[in-house]
Amino acid sequence: MSPEKDEDTGTPVDQAERDLQQAADSAKAAEQRATAEIRALEADLEKERLRAAEELKELQAKHDEELERERKAKERAIAAAESRLAEIEAQAEAAERRVGDAEAKAAEVQATIADADARARESAAAWLRGQVEAIRREAGRR
């Protein structure tokens, strides 16, 4: 082998060392790329975890707000129902009082009617007695 050829290609050991160094450099570069890719993936994962946590927090807040709205709506409905029930009870009590008043007035009217009937019967009886006496007097004169 000529000296020129030895410098270009070197000895097989030199070539092997160069190949080994190239392989080591390639491996190191690959390791650095893999490390960088892993770090980028970890950063993406952390961003996604934070985004998911924030979204979960927002969903929980919306859910809590919805539950609060529903609770307040139920409370309003219950209050309205209780108010309506109180109105109905008051109307029922007023109706019961009116019925009681009407029954009392009806009893008074019946008593008045009974008194008027009794006076009418007494008047009719007195008139009939007068007629009977008049007929007897008339008959006694004859």
Question: Is residue 63 in a domain?
Answer: yes
Question: Is residue 56 in a domain?
Answer: yes
- pLDDT value, residue 6: 44
Question: Is residue 41 in a domain?
Answer: yes
Question: Is residue 6 in a domain?
Answer: no
What is the chain written as a DSSP string? --HHHHHHH--HHHHHHHHHHHHHHHHHHHHHHHHHHHHHHHHHHHHHHHHHHHHHHHHHHHHHHHHHHHHHHHHHHHHHHHHHHHHHHHHHHHHHHHHHHHHHHHHHHHHHHHHHHHHHHHHHHHHHHHHHHHHHHHHHH-
- pLDDT value, residue 2: 45
User: Number of structural domains, the chain?
Assistant: 1
Q: How far apart are the C-alpha atoms of 50 and 25, rounded to whole Å?
A: 37
Question: Is residue 33 in a domain?
Answer: yes
Q: What is the mean pLDDT of the chain?
A: 92
Domain residues for the domain of 124 are 11-141
Q: How far apart are the C-alpha atoms of 53 and 46, rounded to whole Å?
A: 10
Residue 10 has pLDDT above 80, yes or no: no
Q: How far is CA 35 from CA 18, 21, 25, 57, 100, in A?
A: 25, 20, 15, 32, 95
Compute the average pLDDT of residues 54-73. 97
Question: Is residue 3 in a domain?
Answer: no
8 pLDDT band (50/70/90 cuts)?
low
Question: Is residue 44 in a domain?
Answer: yes
- pLDDT value, residue 9: 56
Compute the average pLDDT of residues 21-49. 96
Question: Is residue 43 in a domain?
Answer: yes
